[in-house]
Amino acid sequence: MSVKAFADQRFVVTGGAGFLGRRVAAALSVRGASQVIIPRRAQYDLREREAVLRLLDDARPEVIIHMAAVVGGIGANREHPAEFFYDNLMMGAQLLHEAWRAGVDKFVTIGTVCAYPKFTPVPFHEDDLWIGYPEETNAPYGLAKKMLLVQGQAYRQQYGFKSIYLLPTNLYGPGDNFDPASSHVIPALIRKFVEARDQGAAAVTAWGTGSATREFLYVDDCAEAITLAAERFEEPDPVNIGSGFEISIRDLTHLIAEMTGFTGEIVWDSSKPDGQPRRALDTTRAAERFGFRARTDFRDGLRQTIDWYLANRA
């Protein structure tokens, strides 16, 4: 699909009102797309087949970018594993199947780094997706999203359906979810340290030991990668979307404390899980297949995220 063709394509972006989805919709518009439909759950509950059929009939898309998901941090995944599995599987599997039946030209599935096995050689390479079971705390979510890779490849093999699958690493940036009950590590730590600073707290408790590592990708960079893949990538192989930058949770925690102005003690609660021991992606395939390389420096991205939270927390 050429850039010129974007203007002639009808896009459906599920999850398009969310943290990443808003950026993807904007990136499509910058490339000339004038028909970007963003379904809302209140009108189209994608867990229900009737709603999926109604969406396809109403929107008549040629390209679907599916990123609607039920997501959360370690705590939320431990408390609601059934919902994380069922909701994510049903939304994706029904939408992909009915998109094929409706003659949609291209289906872009946004997967998750949680699909990787718990003990994957670092950096994670796409060929290692099937060498073991995911980390237990988020396995139901990771496996539900992973099944959409299997489905997309099966439909391509049997029907020639153009389905691609992208594996973004952990995202962060302005507009993230800062709700302590469901947020991921960066927004959770930002809120915790800002509130502790404002209250004059002597200490902040952090989960785990801090030994686990993570790779983080600025949300606008991820949107750029998804748009490039929708435009240029036509192959069945899954593709990692990452920054190539790995940091331990301990170092991340101290960095956010410093950047938010918290000067108290950090106490580690080792009774809480660390999650997957290491997480960093081999991003060679994205660079080679559709020319994506992350551009945002991690500290710069953190500063923008913190500044956004400070300006919008009320």
Mean pLDDT by 10 residues, the chain (314 residues): 71 97 97 95 96 98 95 79 96 98 98 94 97 94 97 98 97 94 90 97 95 96 98 97 96 98 96 87 98 98 98 90
Q: How far apart are alpha carbons 122 and 124 in whole angstroms? A: 5
Q: How far apart are alpha carbons 51 and 43 in whole angstroms? A: 8
Residue 81 lies in a domain: yes
Number of domains in the chain: 1
pTM: 0.93
Buried residues in 216-255 as b, exposed as e (16+ CB within 10 A): bbbbbbbbbbbbbbbbebeeeebbbbbbbbbeebbebbee
Residue 252: closest CA among 302, 297, 296, 294: 302
138 secondary structure, DSSP code: G
Catalytic residue numbers read 141
Taking a C-beta distance cutoff of 8 angstroms, is the pair 230, 36 a contact? Answer: no
Q: What is the pLDDT of residue 2?
A: 44
Residue 254 lies in a domain: no
Q: What contacts 117, CB < 8 A, 6 or more positions away?
A: 128, 129, 130, 131, 132, 133, 134
Residue 44 lies in a domain: yes
Backbone angles phi, psi at 252, to 5 degrees: -60, -45
Q: What is the pLDDT of residue 3?
A: 42
CATH code assigned at 65: 3.40.50.720
Residue 197 lies in a domain: no
Q: Residues 91, 95, 99, CA angle at the centre, nearest 5°?
A: 175
Q: Which domain holds residue 116?
A: 3-174+216-245+280-296
Residue 111 lies in a domain: yes
Residue 271 lies in a domain: no
Taking a C-beta distance cutoff of 8 angstroms, is the pair 110, 67 a contact? Answer: yes
Residue 289 lies in a domain: yes
Residue 56 lies in a domain: yes
